[in-house]
Amino acid sequence: MRIEESLRREPGERPLPPEMQATIPRHRGRPPREYRPRVRTPRDVVRLRRHRVPALLLTSEWVTKSGYPVTFRPWLAVSEKLSRKITSDYRILPVKDEDALREPGMVELVTFLLRFDPLAARLVALRNRSRLDPNELYRRVRNEGLEGPATKVRLQEFAPALPKVGRPLPLEDLRWVERNNPPLAEAA
């Protein structure tokens, strides 16, 4: 599938399963059928990815495996262009850079967390410092326009080139959070 303002099936491509799609009525003079995917389960996300739709289910298990034990309702991270075109039971996390959804790693996880839990983003970055590429972190944060939340939790420690936008939290407050959220034994 290719992404425009919506999803369209390319010639010869198999459609999404019927339970995952709602057909949008075709208007005169418009291209062939347009679909609005319905995402209700993790399996639906896997199906979307098989159809080359950049989508990712951000779960608390992924964050916990990265060294910060936390629980939250999953987020469906999708391209910003598609965020209004997908119907989902999950909360939608619009992402400007579609490449971040294709093969997500530690840098992408930190960037996704900056949107809704900047302190978790800092703790994950701190506990996975050796796996973070400062240039890639800089690029992802800038592409998503998250310089403000990154400054708030002082991510400049991990990517020195990041510009400072706004006021950071006091360093002693961040150190308190770090002390009171010890790393997991298996992630350390």
pLDDT tier for residue 83 given thresholds of 50, 70 and 90: confident
Q: Residues 83-92: contacts with CB within 8 Å, 24+ apart?
A: 85/5, 85/6, 85/7, 85/36, 85/37, 86/36, 86/37, 86/38, 86/39, 86/55, 87/22, 87/36, 87/37, 87/38, 87/39, 88/38, 88/39, 88/40, 89/39, 89/40, 90/39, 90/57
pLDDT at 17 (0 to 100): 75
Burial 158-187 (b: 16+ CB within 10 A, else e): bbeebeeeeebeeeeebeeeeeebebeeee
- What confidence tens digit (pLDDT) does each residue in 33-77 have? 667 788 999 999 998 888 888 899 999 999 999 988 889 999 999
Q: What is the mean pLDDT of residues 141-151?
A: 95
Instruction: Output the pTM of the full model.
Output: 0.78
How many angstroms separate the CA atoms of 81 and 3, rounded? 8
Confidence of residue 151 (pLDDT cuts 50, 70, 90): very high
Residues 110 and 90: their CA atoms lie apart, in Å, by: 20
